[in-house]
Amino acid sequence: MSEQFWWYLARASGVVAWVLLTASVLWGIFLATDLFPKYRRPAWLLDLHRWLGGLTVGFVAVHMGSLVVDNYIDFGFADLVIPYAASWKPGPVALGVVAMWGLVIVEVTSLAMKRLPKKVWRGIHLTSYLTFWLGSLHGTFAGTDATQPIYLITSSLSVLAVIFAVTYRILNRSPKRRRSPKPESTPATTDLLN
């Protein structure tokens, strides 16, 4: 095995985790729009969103584990779970740490979704957008592949796709349903009831 295996694995798993996060965010946005009407939405569409989120968590775990095992840059466990604990690029690494915690919180609360009030779950789930942006900034400023043309093209297209999807979602938001007041009983209907 090459001495740089863990370093290559850390880099590749980080990029794959970010691409999966992008796909999960995009899929979640599209599920929330009228692109897939609720009455014609098969269960596998939501399952795909959940699967992409779970894969993202798995690849982030591989990314972090590879960084701990690798000896190219000396990362300890604390460096990867506590913001600004790392001595190597502390700011960009902290962005990744916060994004990782955001991802974990979104995933855990999604698994417990039926036990949480809908407003609480929704509020937490909206932090997925912040997680995406923090992960994107982490990859750009801490990633050693950030200057490679394929990464630049992929990251630019991904960010543009998320901006487009969020804009589409905002502009095509269905109006909130207002509860109509109960009709007051009129004397005529009251007489019929008596």
> Of 96, 76, 78, nearest to 141 (Cα)?
96
pLDDT of residue 73: 84
SS3 164: helix
CA atoms of 128 and 121, how far apart (whole Å): 12
Q: Please report, for residues 4, 61, 86, the alpha-carbon distance to residue 169 in angstroms, rounded to integers and kept in the order given.
A: 43, 30, 37
What pTM was computed for the model? 0.84
For 135-174, the pLDDT digits (tens) are 999 999 999 999 999 999 999 999 999 999 999 988 887 6
Neighbours of 84 (CB within 10 A): 11
Q: Please report, for residues 46, 155, 161, 162, the alpha-carbon distance to residue 168 in angstroms, rounded to integers and kept in the order given.
A: 19, 20, 10, 10
Please identify which residue in the block is written with the tokens 């370093």.
7
- One-letter identity of residue 162: V
For 66-96, the pLDDT digits (tens) are 999 998 888 999 999 999 999 999 999 999 9
> Domain map of the chain by residue range?
5-174
- One-letter identity of residue 101: W
Please identify which residue in the block is written with the tokens 């095509």.
172
Neighbours of 86 (CB within 10 A): 23
